[in-house]
Structure 1
Amino acid sequence: MTEDPVETNPDHYTVVFENDRVRVLEYRDEPGHRSTVHRHPDSVMITASTFRRRLSSGKDQMDVELPAGAARWLPAQEHYGENIGDTQTHAFFVELKEPDPSASTRKDGALGPSGH
């Protein structure tokens, strides 16, 4: 089974740009929508709307509230998300295709975006 969000959630993720180094996805959903499990490589997320989401991976959960125009680092992770707010989620993901040279020292199991 694939974990590519474009294949697991095709009504919500769209490829808007791709080359040999990056892939850019656009994501949109409505309040109450819950995605299926998918995986992101290391990415930068740029929010186009203000939204509230609950991200879940295994037993871990994280509620995220972000304003429009925010840019956040998203370490490689597998999760599903739920729009728990009252606005549409609209975001772009710039997925990196090159491996992280420090991956052997990085903490596994990260969930959600970070400011750095």
Structure 2
Amino acid sequence: MSPDPVATNPKHYSVVFENERVRVLKYHDEPGTLTLPHDHPDSVMITASSFRRELIQGDRKAEVDLPAGRAVWLAAQSHAGHNIGETDTDVFFVELKEPAPAGISAGTDALGPNK
């Protein structure tokens, strides 16, 4: 996996809350922004704005188009992101610090949220 998004993309990611069990990140970018590769643990992603973006993981690409006010599951994954829409992207990530229960996939093949 790649580095922490707050370290690789500090202009876009910031920590707004953290305790022993979760970390909450705020993300913001403008149209055309391309982030450096980074990783996400299992998380809940909450969209504060509508957005369209492309997620890139090696040769794989996935387009994500979500409305404001959605909460979706984001399985652990590494990717870079590109805002390919016409609006800013505003999102919150509630990252889980606890490992997944036994028998639950870590989601390493995932790219993008599970709608």
**TM bracket, shorter-chain basis:** over 0.9
Tell me whether 1:109 sits opposite 2:112 in the alignment: no
Q: 1:104 to 1:114 in 2, by over 3 A?
A: closer
Q: RMSD of aligned C-alpha atoms?
A: 1.4
Q: 1:103 to 1:35 in 2, by over 3 A?
A: farther
Which amino acid in the other structure matches residue 12 of structure 2?
H
> How far is 1:107 from its partner?
5.2
Which amino acid in the other structure matches residue 109 of structure 2?
G
Residue in structure 1 matched with residue 16 of structure 2 by the alignment? 16
Segments of structure 1 that go 5 or more residues without pairing to the other structure are none
Tell me whether 1:56 sits opposite 2:56 in the alignment: yes
Q: How does 1:17-96 map to 2 (within 5 A)?
A: 17-96=17-96
> How far is 1:108 from its partner?
3.1
Instruction: Give the Cα–Cα distance (whole angstroms) in 2 for the partners of residues 31 and 97 of structure 1.
Output: 31
Q: SS in structure 1 opposite 2:24?
A: strand
Deviation beyond 2 Å, 4+ runs, structure 1: 102-108
| Length-normalised TM-score, structure 1 | 0.93
Instruction: Give the Cα–Cα distance (whole angstroms) in 1 for the partners of residues 40 and 94 of structure 2.
Output: 10
Q: SS in structure 2 opposite 1:7?
A: helix
> How far is 1:104 from its partner?
6.0
Instruction: Give the Cα–Cα distance (whole angstroms) in 2 for the partners of residues 103 and 33 of structure 1.
Output: 37
Which deviates more from structure 2 when the two are superposed, residues 98-107 or residues 40-49? 98-107
Over residues 4-57 of structure 1, what are the superposed CA-to-partner deviations in whole Å (9 max), with x where a residue is unaligned?
000000000000000000000000000000000000000000000000000010
Count residues with an aligned counterpart: 114
Q: SS in structure 2 opposite 1:6?
A: helix
Which deviates more from structure 2 when the two are superposed, residues 5-14 or residues 95-104? 95-104
Instruction: Give the Cα–Cα distance (whole angstroms) in 1 for the partners of residues 12 and 33 of structure 2.
Output: 10
